[in-house]
Amino acid sequence: MTISSRTRKNPTSGAHTHFWRPAVATFLSSWAFLVFASTAMASVPDDTLSADDGECLKCHSFERLSTTLENGETLPLHVPGEMFAKSVHNWIGCTNCHRDINLNTHTLSTNKKPYANERERSVALAKICHECHGDKSAQYEGSIHASLVKSGNLAAPVCTDCHGSHNVKTKAAYETLTGAPCKNCHENIFDAYLESMHGQARSKLGHIEAPICSGCHRAHDVNVASIEGRLKDACLGCHQGAELAHKEWLPNAGLHLQAVSCPACHAPAARRRVDLMLFDSVAQRPLSENEIAPRLGDLPGLRKSSEDGLDAKELWSLVRGINRDGMAAEVTLRGRMEVATGEQAHQMASKEKALRDCESCHRAGAEPFQNVTVSLIRADGKRVSYDAEKEVLSSALSVNSVGGFYALGGTRIKLLDILLLLALVGGASVPIVHLTMRRFFRKDK
Amino acid sequence: MKQIYIHPLPVRIWHWINASSVIALILTGLQIRYLGVFDVMSLEAAVTVHNWFGFLLLGNLLVWLSLYLFSDNIRIYQPELNPKKYYRDSFRQAQYYGWGIFKGARNPHRMTAFNKFNPLQSVSYQIIMLLILPIQIATGILLWDVERFSGIVTMLGGVRVVDTVHVLILIFFTFFLFIHVYLATLGHTAMAHIKAMFTGYEEVEEEEPAHAKQDKDKVKKLSIPISGPPSPLHIH
């Protein structure tokens, strides 16, 4: 680390801490800030810090420097100067982000933190990022992470959880196998990804164009890839010829690509299931729990029923109940074949290993139809699934409740099988009985 | 017994195309639906064959519509619009099949070239040709390319609804085929009607000349191209 010539002092070498010393003006107006920023960028080398930052680091370079928050949490106040000097934000300086610091009264004893806990502080400080990174911040607001934060989830990330606070790096640094921050929370899924064709392409073959987390889930407007065909869009974004390639051999290819998620065939080791999502067929989007809860009134009942798995009648009543209560939307169940877990969704294999045989699905008792879930979107954007009995796909009631999902052979209605059997038996019996009676009466004569 | 030329060649060709299509469609349909229960052919092959025969049946239906519905020939199916007589004859025909035939009664229907269907056949074939078969072909076309017709499929309640209707009609045709073939054996010999569908000639009991002459005149008016014998009505 080097400090610019404006100070000539190594902040880490200072033996004294001057908490009273004011720093540069923290009241810079935004235009002045921009002038400052552009000047700083032009004049300060990449790994240098200003003299004013050096003043801050005189104290904050001490590793044991910390404070106690209202809830008793210890907030570390140590800033590794060398790390900050190497970050892309080194030219901004301390006070442009830490505007809550009043430098005139900034002492260990007087500068009480206005946050109840560290999490609250992180969420508050993340808003500062918005001022320069408005576009990314807006994208983040539409993400599942932001929804989780708003719903009070303490584990959901804000800016600094992924980018760090004083060691913010360039964009490219986060798009590497070692730098991807996603693995900190989604370790199992990341491990599955590493073993997948995509992960292997990066780690072993060095193909940096192979997707990493953000390639499918996006970097800031992070969302579940399997909702609303996003996954298909994500896959086809790179595999542009895939749609045509499927049409060459797969009958009704478009329908398959719509009703079957890519991993259902391309992660052959995964366990498949059918998910029936409550869907607003007018607005063409999944239905959220918020929309139906006031009308349905028995979501707890739904949860209770789903403990044993929703049966065909319960599912039929659910759809009927939602539509009956004056819902503007026409609610249907949109069926889709998916893999059972998020971890399995990342176990993508090479295309040679993908399932190609129709019999995997289009026969009675096929594995994908043994697991059925009913899902809806929670207020925080996450999908919540309830178990359903596999018979919901073969019940006569499914004509009404699951009208939009049918896989030839695999989900056939049992009542129709019985009717066919009756037709065969009846069709054969009528001639036999009639013929027998004719012969009987002939003898009788 | 006399022989009358009752099934002109185009009608016979049409019938056997229809018969082979329906049988192929039922068999491939069952293979598609019951893959794993029996595996005569792969699903892909069954779907391909099913689609081809489906379109063949559609073409055949269009031929029938052009030959019968849009011409005077429909009178073969409706010789006279007399509901009272029709119901009375239907009852007699049903009574014959249900009881009279056992007692050696005579078939109440007199087959002629113009009036070849008994009332029960007449109503059955009209319901099949004008209602059931068009619905079956229409649902089949929707299922042939669900994505292309997704708007209509959704409007009808979804792919499962369309498929259920398609399968219900498959079940009906499966049952109908047994009955149809059995009734075809109820001529004066077991093979009489079946043979007639190949040769065109039916053997019927002698009729009074006046009646035969009347039919001959009516047949002459028909626009069905008749090949084979120079005259549509031959008395041997």
Q: Would you call B206 helix, strand, or coil by DSSP?
A: coil
- CB contacts, 8 Å: A427 with chain B: 174-179
What does the block give as tokens for A375?
């899902």
Length of chain A, in residues:
445
Tell me, yes or no, whether A201 lies in a domain. no
Specify whether A394 is located in the same domain as A433.
no
* Cβ of residue B43 closer than 8 Å to a chain A Cβ: yes
Specify whether A422 is located in the same domain as A438.
yes
Distance of CA B71 to the CA centre of its chain: 18
Specify whether A256 is located in the same domain as A349.
yes
**Alpha-carbon distances, residue A311 vs A47, A278, B51, B82, B229 (angstroms):** 64, 16, 35, 53, 66
Q: Is the pTM of this model over 0.80?
A: no
Specify whether A444 is located in the same domain as A398.
no
Specify whether A296 is located in the same domain as A254.
yes
> What tens digit of pLDDT does each residue of A412-427 get?
999 999 999 999 999 9
**Alpha-carbon distances, residue B172 vs A396, A400, B125, B178 (angstroms):** 18, 22, 13, 10
Mark yes or no for CB contact B33/A412 under 8 Å. yes
For chain A, the residues whose C-beta falls within 8 A of a C-beta of chain B are 251-252, 254-255, 258, 281, 332, 358-359, 362-365, 398-400, 402-406, 408-409, 411-413, 416, 419-420, 423-424, 426-428, 430-431, 434-435, 437-438, 440-442, 445
* Overall domain count for chain A: 3
Mark yes or no for CB contact A254/B101 under 8 Å. no
> Least CA distance to A445: which residue of chain B?
B103
> What tens digit of pLDDT does each residue of A240-291 get?
899 999 999 888 888 898 889 899 999 999 999 999 988 887 777 888 777 7
> Least CA distance to B38: which residue of chain A?
A363
Tell me, yes or no, whether A51 lies in a domain. yes
Q: What is the pLDDT of residue B47?
A: 94
* B91 or A172, higher pLDDT: B91
Q: Worst-scoring range by mean pLDDT, A233-242, A430-439, B113-122, B225-234?
A: B225-234
Tell me, yes or no, whether A301 lies in a domain. yes
Pick from A402, A442, A445: CB nearest B160: A402
pLDDT level of residue B4 (50, 70, 90 thresholds)? confident
Mark yes or no for CB contact B145/A437 under 8 Å. no
Specify whether A165 is located in the same domain as A111.
yes
Mutate to test the interface with B, among A362, A405, A437, A439 (most CBs of B within 10 A): A362
Contacts of A157 (CB under 8 A, 6+ apart): A145, A149, A181, A185
> What tens digit of pLDDT does each residue of A393-405 get?
999 998 888 888 9
ipTM value, please give it: 0.85
What does the block give as tokens for B228?
């084979």
Amino acid in the structure at residue A14: G
Pick from B34, B164, B168: CB nearest A409: B34
pLDDT level of residue A114 (50, 70, 90 thresholds)? low
Alpha-helical segments (H) within A175-241: 187-195, 197-203, 213-217, 230-238
Tell me, yes or no, whether A177 lies in a domain. no
CA–CA distance, A245 with A227 (Å, rounded to integer): 24
Q: Worst-scoring range by mean pLDDT, A106-120, A359-373, B180-194, B208-222?
A: B208-222
Percent of chain A topping pLDDT 70? 81
Q: What is the pLDDT of residue A414?
A: 94
Does A17 have pLDDT greater than 50? no
A306: domain range? Answer: 223-412
Q: At what angle are helices B43-64 and B133-144 packed, to 10 degrees? A: 140
- Nearest-Cα distance to chain B for A250, in Å, is 9
> Phi and psi for A113 in degrees, rounded to 5?
-75, 135
User: What's B130's DSSP letter?
Assistant: I
Q: At what angle are helices A299-306 and A289-296 packed, to 10 degrees? A: 100
Architecture of domain B10-109+117-193: Up-down Bundle (1.20)
Specify whether A386 is located in the same domain as A257.
yes
Amino acid in the structure at residue A325: D
Does A42 have pLDDT greater than 60? no
Q: Provide the phi-psi class of A153: left if phi over 0, else alpha when psi is between -120 and 50, else beta.
A: beta
Alpha-helical segments (H) within chain B: 9-33, 43-64, 83-95, 119-127, 133-144, 150-155, 159-184, 192-199, 209-221
Q: What is the mean pLDDT of chain B?
A: 84
Does A226 have pLDDT greater than 70? no
Tell me, yes or no, whether A192 lies in a domain. no
User: What's A229's DSSP letter?
Assistant: G
How many CB pairs below 8 A link A and B? 111
- CB contacts, 8 Å: A400 with chain B: 157
- CB contacts, 8 Å: A434 with chain B: 97, 182
Does B234 have pLDDT greater than 80? no
The pLDDT of A40-61, averaged and rounded, is 71
Q: What is the pLDDT of residue B164?
A: 96
CA–CA distance, A99 with A34 (Å, rounded to integer): 16
* Cβ of residue B157 closer than 8 Å to a chain A Cβ: yes
Mutate to test the interface with B, among A419, A425, A429 (most CBs of B within 10 A): A419
pLDDT level of residue B136 (50, 70, 90 thresholds)? very high
The residue extents of the domains of chain B are 10-109+117-193
Q: Would you call A64 helix, strand, or coil by DSSP?
A: coil
Q: CA torsion sign, A159 to A160 to A166 to A169?
A: negative
> What tens digit of pLDDT does each residue of A298-355 get?
554 566 555 678 889 888 888 887 777 666 667 888 899 999 888 898 999 988 999 9
